[in-house]
Amino acid sequence: MPLDPRKHADWEIAEEAEKHMKTVYQLAEEMGLEKEELLPHGHYVAKVDYKSVLERLKDRPDGKYIDVTAITPTPLGEGKSTTTIGLLQGMGKRGKNVMAAIRQPSGGPTMNIKGSAAGGGLSQCIPLTPFSLGLTGDINAIMNAHNLAMVALTARMQHEFNYTDEQLAKRNLKRLNIDPRNVQMGWIIDFCAQALRKIIIGIGGKMDGFMMESRFDIAVSSEVMAILSVANDLKDFRERIGKIVVAYDKQGNPVTTEDLEVAGAMTAWMVDALNPNLMQSIEGQPVLVHAGPFANIAIGQSSIIADRVGLKLADYHITESGFGADIGFEKFWNLKCRFSGLKPHAAVIVATIRALKCHGGAPVPVPGRPIPKEYYEENVEWVEKGCANLVHHINTVRKAGINPVVCINAFHTDTQDEINTVKRIAEEAGARVAVSEHWLKGGEGALELADAVIDACEEGNDFRFLYEIDLPQTQRIERIAKEVYGADGVEYTPQALQKLKAIEGDPELSKLGTCMVKTHLSLSDNPNLKGVPKGWKLFVRDVLVFKGAGFVVPVAGDIKLMPGTSSDPAYRRIDVDVETGKVKGLF
């Protein structure tokens, strides 16, 4: 019998479930993988040779495609990964051939506040420890590939500063004339390290590098991670890596990884990382883990490669988008689906009574502190008022022509009147609604949700993008701001507007996708504004170019590409049993 989630921590539940795990060999056989398509990393984790699978099954029709998103979450999250695993388990209980793809967790939130994103309760991805602590090394490969580009850049700047043109020519180098005040990339690390947001490098003598300002961002915000998310194969990946703009020269021309002759070596670090990772739910269904989180500062999607594999191997494939539908789903809709050519059949919008109360006027929960007592008491008025945020997200999904299913991610403190209120409002807004107790009961608790999603997949839809790719970037940003966020318009810093005008004047850059960076804690760019804010304008303070990934990246509000570690981080409670070597305290 599984442990009771009300009495045991997630790591304890996972540890108990891991005693009864299937081996990856059993999983592979059940999935229909050929022996050579499984690349084991021990007995319970493997990589899947995506190229072989897609070639062998190229004539097999794709399964039904389902995206999991959410309302605007509280700082504690809405349980999208938990719901993704719960839905997988529920559909499995209904006898469906189903797979899921979730994102690999970042070490930042794992060691900070949010946890490892393996799910929770009886709906988790296992084994928990490798999932949470580096898995098969994909993020490490991303860090090495990204930082190698910075090594190439800074070494080149040092040599160009110290040597004449003739001396450079003897070393088979040409002067790139890099502008140290116009370096786009920084370094990356997979922790929340606010002390590294702004640094000075190259301090010392002339052999110690070129001295200039630099920075660290969190690893999953890297353009290399974005490319892993959207690449279709190794050839596509290599071409995209070579287009990464690392800096600009003194005439304003881009300096790419190809110019620095480092793109090939960067790709060499990433060859194995292109293969999705294979794990399983507590109930033994296959889970592909690939690409990374943080849809607020990155694309935040499980990879196109993982989705293609899942759609070929299963009749239903569930994928996951980060944070609320204004961020993760919008990028799934207008970026990922555009790049992949895949059309989803349904989208699940996860909502909790807790978050609806927050949007309706309850005190905002603070991570690391006890949840305010108001969340344990019935308040239908707060829930009803907070449902405006839910309806906003339902309307966003419907604009894509996709069938929305609202999942009420149930807590034991939810009352029937509160649940009935959400059901009524969501159904009036045109969504199917299901109450799911997957956290407490696993697949058995997700049967209502599974049935609703299966029904939604059978209903036809009219998938369409929010904008055509030939629409100018400024008009796209305004459309996203007005139609997805609910803003009255957009304001820009002079620097951001100047960059956008230059982008719109470039025939190649103007056709790139638009990948917004914005807080996940509000529909607006102000994390303190809950519900559906009115009378505001989106403030775009900077614009980045991810030419390799195929994005223009407008940065809105005060959001940072390097989060900070809190005063009560998770690492304080993580330890190792020195007798068994088992990790305890992960969540």
Q: Please give the positions annotated as active site.
A: 80, 82, 103, 114, 295, 323, 411, 439
Query: d(Cα 423, Cα 387) in Å, to the nearest integer?
Result: 10
* Contact in structure between 324 and 347 (CB atoms under 8 Å): no
Q: Is 558 exposed, middle or buried (0-12, 13-18, 19+ CB in 10 A)?
A: exposed
**Cis bond leading into 127, ω under 30°?**
yes
Pairing status of strand 286-289 against strand 38-40: unpaired
Helices 353-360, 416-428: crossing angle, 10 deg rounding? 80
Phi-psi region of 557 (alpha: psi -120 to 50; beta: other; left: phi over 0): left
Calpha distance 350→463 (Å, rounded): 21
For residue 524, what are its two tokens?
């607006």
**Total Cβ atoms within 10 A of residue 381:** 12
Using alpha carbons only, give the angle 268, 274, 276 rounded to the nearest 5 degrees.
150
Instruction: Compute the distance between CA of residue 400 and CA of residue 333 in angstroms, rounded to an integer.
Output: 7
Pull the structure tokens for residue 368: 């690391």
Type of residue numbered 35 = K
Least Cα distance to 155 among 261, 300, 10 occurs for: 261
Residue-wise burial string across 194-210, b where 16 or more C-beta atoms lie within 10 A, e elsewhere: eebeeeebbeeeeeebb
